[in-house]
Amino acid sequence: MTNVHDGTVATIDSALKNTGVVRSIGNTPLVRLRRLEQHLGLPASIEIHLKMEWVNPGGSIKDRTALSIIQAAIAAGNLLRGQTLIDATSGNTGIAYAMLGAALEIPVMLVVPGSASEERKRTLAAYGAHVVYSDPYEGSDGAIRLVRDLITDTDCNYFYADQYNNQANAVAHYTTTGPEIWDQTSGALTHFVAALGTTGTLMGAGRYFRHRGTVELIGVQPAEAFHGIEGLKHLPTAIVPGIFDSSLPDRIEGVDTEEAFDAARTLARIEGYFVGSSTGANLAAAARIGSDLAREGEAGRIVAVGCDGGSRYLSTGLWELD
């Protein structure tokens, strides 16, 4: 196995380029949800497409984020031999860090809200990450505060990845997610819908679309401060990520927890795609947009991000038996 800490740029570059799990990240399918469109009563002129990010090897869109952060850190000399990558995460980015850490021999320490689903906790353990759990009632903000307490100016043995403030997060989506969607829609998408957690997906892909054409950018957040949509932030009451630019989205849609859950369940039972609650929130917002366009007699090609799969939420209220 190639050791990423051998100390030579050539060896590091080789590890990043030639490790199988790294090469498996990205180039995910974009699928049109025709049966969902029919269920919503939308005319044929309005399309809803889903970017299937759960087919990444770590199971979520955060594989792109973690890889970009690690690549940038190594290139800048910020992640050195013997250092441990540390960050706060609601789960998916942490899983991606842990996966890449295992493949590239990078020690990983994560601060995760105690409210994270049991499936996420067990996945992190499977990859061998060291996990510290923060107050379950403080969500991702509590994890951020705790990781900051753990890191001091003298803690040179840690690389603080800081996904909420690291521009490499948004760069991942400017250089991969955005271009992929643009190519897959032949540049004809009209609306892009992305949930707001770290906000990196909307910031990166959104800027790419701004530079390419006229695309309406819609951010999705929980409708209330207390919610059950893992990984998402209610920005008015949360620690706002440093990478977030409020001038970029055309609008931000608030989605109730049950609305997000219902959309995820509907997708599973109508289209056969098994997704998580953040994807459900994106689909709920996409359905609103489609209905608005239908009332106005306008056409549209809406792309929603499928953040992760539903199997990470089997122990949560999302998939409680009827």
Q: Among residues 9, 1, 28, which one has the least CA distance to residue 303?
A: 28
Q: How far is it, in rounded angstroms, from Cα 59 to Cα 106? A: 20
Q: What is the torsion angle, in degrees rounded to the nearest 10, for the CA atoms of residue 290, residue 273, residue 266 and residue 232?
A: -70
Residues linked to residue 133 through DSSP beta bridges, in sequence order: 112
Which class for 57: exposed (0-12), middle (13-18), buried (19 or more C-beta within 10 A)? middle
Confirm whether 278 is a catalytic residue.
yes
The token pair at 105 is 């021999």
Q: Among residues 291, 309, 311, 250, which one has the least CA distance to residue 48?
A: 291
- Backbone phi and psi for residue 298, each to the nearest 5 degrees, phi listed first: -105, 155
SS3 percent helix, strand, coil of the chain, rounded to 5, is 45, 20, 35
Cβ atoms of 93 and 143 within 8 Å: the answer is no
Length of the chain equals 322
**Residue 255 Cα distances to 95, 98, 282, angstroms:** 25, 30, 9
CA 166 to chain centre: 14
Q: Of 115, 134, 140, 278, which is the active-site residue?
A: 278
Q: How far is it, in rounded angstroms, from Cα 311 to Cα 146? A: 28
Q: Of 62, 117, 134, 233, which is the active-site residue?
A: 62
Confirm whether 62 is a catalytic residue.
yes
Cβ atoms of 6 and 33 within 8 Å: the answer is no
Q: How far is it, in rounded angstroms, from Cα 290 to Cα 316? A: 29
The token pair at 185 is 């829609």
Task: List, as one string, the DSSP characters of 68-101.
Answer: HHHHHHHHHT-S-TTPEEEEE-SSHHHHHHHHHH
The catalytic residue positions are: 62, 278
